[in-house]
């Protein structure tokens, strides 16, 4: 929805705004305000004598107009550079003072695009903010604001712009006192941290040898200029000293540089007359990454360091990366592990109390996982919101529950269309004697995965059994000995499963892929799309306990052209990783600590809860496994990106939900940086049960939600949802342009759900893409047609394949409209594609839900109109 077609144009490239000469600005401000915009004007009154704390400190912002107007330009002391934001409200600029300070005043030197209403806020942690000054009558020019308060972080939080442009500041200056000067610590913050280098002379002289604390080992580079050695401190630190112990091959000219992201570098010390030996350098700056950047060698050899030491003035934000005991791991307070010796009454009491709490708790922060070690149990598992039940066996049949694992919709009058966010995995279920029906009445984000419902006489019902509707779900790697009855399910995706007595039922869009016992192909009425095999899939990783009592994570192998389950009647193929190789992330752990664990080569296991991050979780190592329990949720605060995955092989992200915070994030998750091009066909990145939410518990905002830049990525059940109900919901409240943007080639999605975004729901820019099952609802809430126009086109398509794409295929797509704010709104088309014989769509349906709103065509100008008179329209093939 954000992106229209490749190449993607940024929102910052929209107006040819001429750069006004600074002198003219100074003259104008001098004429309009008591104080002119000059360096003198930005100096506090002499009698107050406060200290300027913000200059040169790390600055971040909710957005930037373009690369030439970064946040750092407002704290660089240069009145000719500026920060400017995107053209929307709210926006903020934030500076990290490094330490907690007592504040006395803030000076804002506005460009013409100033704030009419804004607040000055402080925070100790960059997350919880206190307002220390505010106005709704901002004057622009240079505003010197007296403030009383304290904090490490200070920000301008703008809520109303004075112009149609964004917010723009030449300088943002914070004054106050920090007490005694900080002491430069004696601890070597670089020792044992991950180190990389531009090159190595040989395998025996690695980058890590310069940070191992051993003066007898060294790093040496190739014999060329320039070369560098970099260390990752794990979090942004306040730097005060760097010590270099050179071997004879030292640098004549070099710089010490710092960076917050390992990409944009600041020079904090430099020389062209290096002396070699041991050099102790006093530096001032901040950064997570520190490097020696050599530009001229003193010898004909390369650069060589025995040790590279970094000292800081703060303790940093990185907690120790604790080890994980694989036999007795701390899985957090919201994970319950039962074994066969646990009394049945104890188990049932816990299950009942969780259901009582979670039955209607759709938007609360509570998250739970209930895990059963191998054995047999008697239990009735009635799953409420944000509850996962799972077996800890290597096979689902290693754990058998005599009873139920079920989902009902009684709380909503039998209507299951809001039964989201719960999961059953890796279990076998034997129904009580005389009971022949299991009920799994769910809609989105409720996987029934790697399950075995025993008994050929039994059936599983995918709705509440006689009343209400249900609205889509997933069954994968599952065996049902009996019959599957879909009832009022509107759409459903079944993959690599086995139905002993088949399937019955159809409403709009049922897709079966690699399923033994699937019904015959027929479309429409019944709307059964049947695909014989799954071309390439890796099943979701899962936690289990081996025969010795050790917790491990099993990573299923990649399968090609597969049918049926990965486990029934066969040994599952794959690899097993001890939980000792995982860092167990519990709520309250900082992103810096998580990143430190990743940098040490650890995998991640997120325990149930909401995990707040103020910087991206960076997954840079191939084959990293990130597994969540209990629908563990990562919330992006302060406009950060929640997770970035490098363009590397084989990363697996599974069982994680991403939540937008109140400040707009550019994207919640990014797989591969822009321009990624590596071939991952033999070992793709895979995303399993990965869900996204924007709004619902409260205001959430993100421009894009999931962007896939890497090639060959597999999406295995994803729901991207801009909330249509709950708190913090409205056309101008939980703003989000686009759900999924695919820029990589040969990306495949199985079971893709994308709903309610304000522009395109899905934009596919890469070649060779494939989607098997697509479920979409357009935004409910356009206030009128004028608010939802794509140029001359009414509305935005639910599925957009970019004009330059030459190959793409999709099977089993449904798009629905329900324009309940203004039923006169029209979407001109559900699917928009280039006319190319290699861009092919099979079995599509559009629905005007209750006849509220109109979808004019199915694909481009083909297909009938779904509206009040004709609410359901089918199209079998395009072209």
Enzyme catalytic residues: 777
Dist. CA 264–CA 67, nearest whole Å: 12
Asked if 776 and 800 touch (Cβ cutoff 8 Å), the reply is: no
Dist. CA 30–CA 53, nearest whole Å: 26
Cα distances from 542 to residues 235, 392, 567, 587, in angstroms, run 30, 8, 13, 20
Q: Where are the beta strands (DSSP E) in 5-141?
A: 51-52, 59-61, 83-84, 91-110, 115-123, 130-135
The DSSP element (H or E) to which 401 belongs, if any, is strand 399-406
Cα dihedral sign, 233-236-242-246? positive
Dist. CA 499–CA 368, nearest whole Å: 30
Task: Work out the number of other CB atoms within 10 angstroms of the CB of residue 741.
Answer: 26
Helices (H), ranges, 543-679: 591-599
Asked if 279 and 148 touch (Cβ cutoff 8 Å), the reply is: no
Dist. CA 759–CA 737, nearest whole Å: 5
Asked if 294 and 270 touch (Cβ cutoff 8 Å), the reply is: no
Question: Nearest 5 degrees, angle CA 754-CA 759-CA 764?
Answer: 60
> CB-based burial of residue 136 (10 Å sphere; 0-12 exposed, 13-18 middle, 19+ buried)?
exposed
What are the residues whose beta carbons fall under 8 Å from the beta carbon of 395, sequence distance 6 or more? 567, 572
Dist. CA 581–CA 324, nearest whole Å: 7
State phi, psi for 401 to the nearest 5 degrees: -100, 120
Give bridge partners of residue 790 from the DSSP assignment. Answer: 793
Dist. CA 475–CA 479, nearest whole Å: 9
Dist. CA 353–CA 387, nearest whole Å: 12
Cα distances from 23 to residues 19, 27, 30, 83, in angstroms, run 12, 6, 10, 18
Dist. CA 28–CA 141, nearest whole Å: 9
Token readout for 202 is: 């040989």
Asked if 109 and 133 touch (Cβ cutoff 8 Å), the reply is: no
Dist. CA 565–CA 571, nearest whole Å: 11
Asked if 302 and 225 touch (Cβ cutoff 8 Å), the reply is: no
Task: Work out the number of other CB atoms within 10 angstroms of the CB of residue 208.
Answer: 15
């Amino acid at each position: 929805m954000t992106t229209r077609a490749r190449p993607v144009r940024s929102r910052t490239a929209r107006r040819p705004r001429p750069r006004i000469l600074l002198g003219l600005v100074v003259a104008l401000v001098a004429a309009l305000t008591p104080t002119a915009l000059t360096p003198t004007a930005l100096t506090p009154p002499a009698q107050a004598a406060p200290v300027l704390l913000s200059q040169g400190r790390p600055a971040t912002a909710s957005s930037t107009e373009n690369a030439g107007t970064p946040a750092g330009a407002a704290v660089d002391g240069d009145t000719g550079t500026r920060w400017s934001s995107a053209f929307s409200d709210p926006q903020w600029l934030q500076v990290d003072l490094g330490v907690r300070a007592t504040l006395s005043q803030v000076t804002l030197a506005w460009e013409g695009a100033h704030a009419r209403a804004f607040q000055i806020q402080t925070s100790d942690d960059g997350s919880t903010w206190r307002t220390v000054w505010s106005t709704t009558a901002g004057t622009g020019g240079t505003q010197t604001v007296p403030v009383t308060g304290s904090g490490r972080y200070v920000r301008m939080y703008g809520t109303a712009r004075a112009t149609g442009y964004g917010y723009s500041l030449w300088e943002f200056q914070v004054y106050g006192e920090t007490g005694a000067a900080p002491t430069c610590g004696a601890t070597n913050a670089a020792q044992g941290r991950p180190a990389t280098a531009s090159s190595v002379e040989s395998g025996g002289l690695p980058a890590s040898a310069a940070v191992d604390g051993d003066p007898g080992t060294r790093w040496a580079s190739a014999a060329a200029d320039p070369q560098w050695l970099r260390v990752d401190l794990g979090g942004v630190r306040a730097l005060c000293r760097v010590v270099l112990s050179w071997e004879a091959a030292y640098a004549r000219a070099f710089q010490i540089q710092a960076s917050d992201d390992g990409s944009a570098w600041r020079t904090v010390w430099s020389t062209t007359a290096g002396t070699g030996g041991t050099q102790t350098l006093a530096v001032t700056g901040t950064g997570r990454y520190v490097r020696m950047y050599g530009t001229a060698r003193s010898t004909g050899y390369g650069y060589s360091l025995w040790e590279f030491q970094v000292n800081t003035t703060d303790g940093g934000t990185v907690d120790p990366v604790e080890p994980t005991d694989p036999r007795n791991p701390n899985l957090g307070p919201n994970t319950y592990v039962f074994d066969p010796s646990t009394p049945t009454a104890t188990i049932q009491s816990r299950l009942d109390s969780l259901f009582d709490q979670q039955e209607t708790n759709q938007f609360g922060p509570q998250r739970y996982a209930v895990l059963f070690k191998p054995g047999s149990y008697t239990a009735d598992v009635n799953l409420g919101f944000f509850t996962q039940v799972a077996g800890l066996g290597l096979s689902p049949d290693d754990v058998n529950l005599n009873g139920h694992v079920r989902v009902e919709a009684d709380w909503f009058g039998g209507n299951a269309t809001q039964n989201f966010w719960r999961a059953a995995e890796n279990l076998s279920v034997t129904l009580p004697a005389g009971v022949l029906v299991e009920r799994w009445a769910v809609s989105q984000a409720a996987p029934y995965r790697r399950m075995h419902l025993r008994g050929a006489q039994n059936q599983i019902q995918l709705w509440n059994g006689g009343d209400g509707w249900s609205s889509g779900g997933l069954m994968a790697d599952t065996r049902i000995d009996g019959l599957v009855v879909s009832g009022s399910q509107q759409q459903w995706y079944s993959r690599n499963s086995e139905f002993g007595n088949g399937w019955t039922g159809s409403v709009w869009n049922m897709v079966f892929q690699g399923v033994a016992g699937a019904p015959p192909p027929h479309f429409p009425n019944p709307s059964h799309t049947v695909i014989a095999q799954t071309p390439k899939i890796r099943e979701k990783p899962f936690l289990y306990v081996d025969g010795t009592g050790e917790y491990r994570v099993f990573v299923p192998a990649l399968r090609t052209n597969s049918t049926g389950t990965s486990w029934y009647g066969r040994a599952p193929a794959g690899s097993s990783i001890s939980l000792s190789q995982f860092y167990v992330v519990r709520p309250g752990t900082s992103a810096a600590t998580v990143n430190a664990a990743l940098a040490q080569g650890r995998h991640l296991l997120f325990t149930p809860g909401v995990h707040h991050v103020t910087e991206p979780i960076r997954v840079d190592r191939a084959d990293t496994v990130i597994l969540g329990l209990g629908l563990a949720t990562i919330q992006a605060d302060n406009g950060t990106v929640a997770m970035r995955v490098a363009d590397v092989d084989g990363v697996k992200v599974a069982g994680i939900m991403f939540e937008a915070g109140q400040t707009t994030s550019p994207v919640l998750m990014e797989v591969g940086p822009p321009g990624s091009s590596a071939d991952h066909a033999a070992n793709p990145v895979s995303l399993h049960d990965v869900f996204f939410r924007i709004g619902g518990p409260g205001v959430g905002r993100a421009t894009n939600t999931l962007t896939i830049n890497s090639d060959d990525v597999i999406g295995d059940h994803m729901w991207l949802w801009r909330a249509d109900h709950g708190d913090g919901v409205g056309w101008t409240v939980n703003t989000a342009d686009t759900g999924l943007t695919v820029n990589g080639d040969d990306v495949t999605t199985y079971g893709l759900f994308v709903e309610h975004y304000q522009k395109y729901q899905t934009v596919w820019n890469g070649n060779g893409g494939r989607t098997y099952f697509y479920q979409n609802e357009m935004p409910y809430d356009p206030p009128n047609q004028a608010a939802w126009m794509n140029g001359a086109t009414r509305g935005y398509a639910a599925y957009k394949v970019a004009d330059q794409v030459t190959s793409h295929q999709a099977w089993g797509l449904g798009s629905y409209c329900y324009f309940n704010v203004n039923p006169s709104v029209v979407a001109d088309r559900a699917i928009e594609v280039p006319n190319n014989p290699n861009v092919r769509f099979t079995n599509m349906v559009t629905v005007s839900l209750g006849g509220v709103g109109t979808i004019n065509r199915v694909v481009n100008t083909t297909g009938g109109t779904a509206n009040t008179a004709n609410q359901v329209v089918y199209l079998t093939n395009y072209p």
